[in-house]
């Protein structure tokens, strides 16, 4: 009896000790201001910084966290991803050569012009067929035609779009971007596209620079060089398209946000080509930039919660999907048979 009582007392003491240990851990986290959700998010973020995870997997991990846990720092997400994306793209410029970049830019120039204005026209028509708000439909078309979220951010103040219209357009583009990052390398390998063709296809048919670079990085260094250069040359079309948009919507005095990071990207390529000393640290910069890009895609995934997706509605997604399929197939056929 005494032995049994002693064992019970011991178990009770162990239970209390375990409870106290857990309480102490919770108290430590509480004092540090870290909740369980924040802790899981931060651990996933650290995992994305490591070389163990690829950009598509990082995006998928972000989507899982968005659906089941929620982004604990959602209010900071847009600003952080914007800065990280631009910094990582500039850093990747240290892996490129001026001559190759110019050749890639010339190679995709005519296709770029044709695809931009073709996408805008078809996008506006599809928007009218589905009776989507004119500004929302136009932003989706512009995002598909030029460079996704960057184009939407640049053109929305020019056409005086409201927050709801901008959110729907961004949500549509981000949903399709997530798909492109995974699907494009699969299709490229299935069709046995070489590095040049795949890089050109990515730049012309994927919306956001982050997804273009992510998909091309997975395919190969040559594909990355071509894709990044053509995409950033394409991004310069934000300026003429913004003026074109001002005329369409008859808004005078609208502000145009010029993507200044493109100038830094060009400077990085020039430094890497003409300054021999830079080549000693270029590899380190490129490695860090690829890690930053992976983190960017993770954060983009974290921002795509079920609530965000549901708020978009089915019509804008269908418009964006049809437009994206048209531009993807048209550019792919052109590249394969005419390039």
Residue % of the chain over a pLDDT of 90? 11
The per-residue pLDDT for 188 is 93
**What does the alpha-carbon distance between residue 153 and residue 164 come to, in Å, rounded to a whole number?**
13
**pLDDT at residue 87 is higher than 90:** no
Buried b or exposed e, range 141-176, using 16+ CB within 10 angstroms = bbbbbbbbbbbbbbbbebbebeeebbbbbbbbbbbb
**pLDDT at residue 150 is higher than 70:** yes
Q: Which tens digit of pLDDT belongs to each residue from 156-175?
A: 878 888 767 877 887 788 77
Q: Alpha helices, DSSP H only, in 33-133?
A: 36-49, 55-68, 74-92, 98-107, 109-129
Residues in the chain: 339
The contacts of residue 162 (CB under 8 Å, 6+ apart) are: 135
**pLDDT at residue 35 is higher than 90:** no
| Mean local confidence (pLDDT), 228-250 | 79
Q: Which tens digit of pLDDT belongs to each residue from 277-299?
A: 887 888 888 888 888 878 887 88
The per-residue pLDDT for 279 is 76
Q: Which tens digit of pLDDT belongs to each residue from 108-135?
A: 677 778 888 888 999 999 989 988 888 8
The per-residue pLDDT for 339 is 59
| Mean local confidence (pLDDT), 72-101 | 80
pTM above 0.85, yes or no: no
**Residue that wins the pLDDT comparison between 78 and 72:** 72
The per-residue pLDDT for 15 is 46
| Mean local confidence (pLDDT), 190-214 | 89
∠ CA 232-233-239, rounded to 5°: 100
**pLDDT at residue 251 is higher than 70:** no
**Residue that wins the pLDDT comparison between 89 and 91:** 91
The per-residue pLDDT for 108 is 62
Provide the residue ranges of all domains of the chain, joining segments of one domain with +.
2-33, 37-338
The per-residue pLDDT for 83 is 83
Phi, psi of 254 (to 5 degrees): -70, 145
**What does the alpha-carbon distance between residue 249 and residue 272 come to, in Å, rounded to a whole number?**
42
CA 230 to each of CA 10, 188, 270: distance values in angstroms, whole numbers, following the listed order: 71, 18, 16
Q: Two tokens at 308? A: 């965000």
**pLDDT at residue 321 is higher than 50:** yes
Average pLDDT along the chain? 79
**pLDDT at residue 187 is higher than 90:** yes
| Mean local confidence (pLDDT), 11-38 | 52
**What does the alpha-carbon distance between residue 285 and residue 95 come to, in Å, rounded to a whole number?**
9
């Amino acid at each position: 009896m005494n032995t049994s009582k002693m064992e019970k007392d011991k178990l009770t003491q162990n239970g209390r000790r375990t409870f106290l240990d857990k309480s102490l851990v919770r108290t430590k986290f509480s004092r540090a201001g870290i909740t369980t959700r924040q802790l899981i998010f931060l651990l996933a973020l650290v995992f994305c910084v490591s070389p163990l995870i690829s950009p598509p997997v990082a995006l998928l991990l972000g989507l899982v966290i968005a659906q089941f846990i929620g982004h604990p720092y959602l209010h900071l997400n847009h600003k952080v991803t914007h800065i990280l994306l631009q910094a990582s793209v500039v850093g990747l410029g240290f892996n490129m050569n001026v001559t190759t970049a110019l050749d890639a830019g010339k190679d995709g120039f005519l296709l770029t012009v044709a695809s931009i204005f073709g996408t805008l026209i078809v996008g506006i028509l599809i928007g009218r067929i589905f009776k989507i708000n004119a500004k929302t439909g136009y932003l989706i078309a512009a995002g598909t035609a030029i460079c996704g979220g960057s184009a939407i951010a640049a053109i929305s103040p020019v056409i005086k779009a409201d927050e709801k219209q901008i959110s729907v357009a961004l949500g549509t583009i981000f949903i399709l971007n997530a798909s492109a990052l995974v699907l494009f390398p699969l299709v490229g390998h299935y069709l046995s596209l070489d590095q040049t063709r795949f890089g050109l296809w990515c730049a012309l048919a994927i919306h956001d620079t982050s997804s273009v670079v992510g998909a091309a990085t997975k395919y190969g260094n040559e594909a990355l060089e071509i894709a990044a250069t053509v995409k950033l040359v394409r991004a310069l079309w934000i300026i003429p398209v913004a003026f074109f948009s001002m005329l369409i919507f008859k808004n005078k005095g609208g502000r145009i946000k010029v993507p200044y990071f493109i100038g830094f990207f060009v400077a990085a390529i020039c430094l890497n080509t003409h300054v021999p000393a830079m080549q000693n640290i270029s590899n380190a910069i490129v490695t860090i930039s690829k890690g930053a890009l992976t983190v960017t895609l993770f954060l983009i995934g974290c921002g795509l919660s079920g609530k965000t997706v549901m708020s978009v509605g089915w019509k804008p997604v269908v418009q964006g999907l049809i437009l994206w399929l048209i531009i993807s197939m048209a550019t792919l056929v052109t590249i394969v048979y005419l390039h």
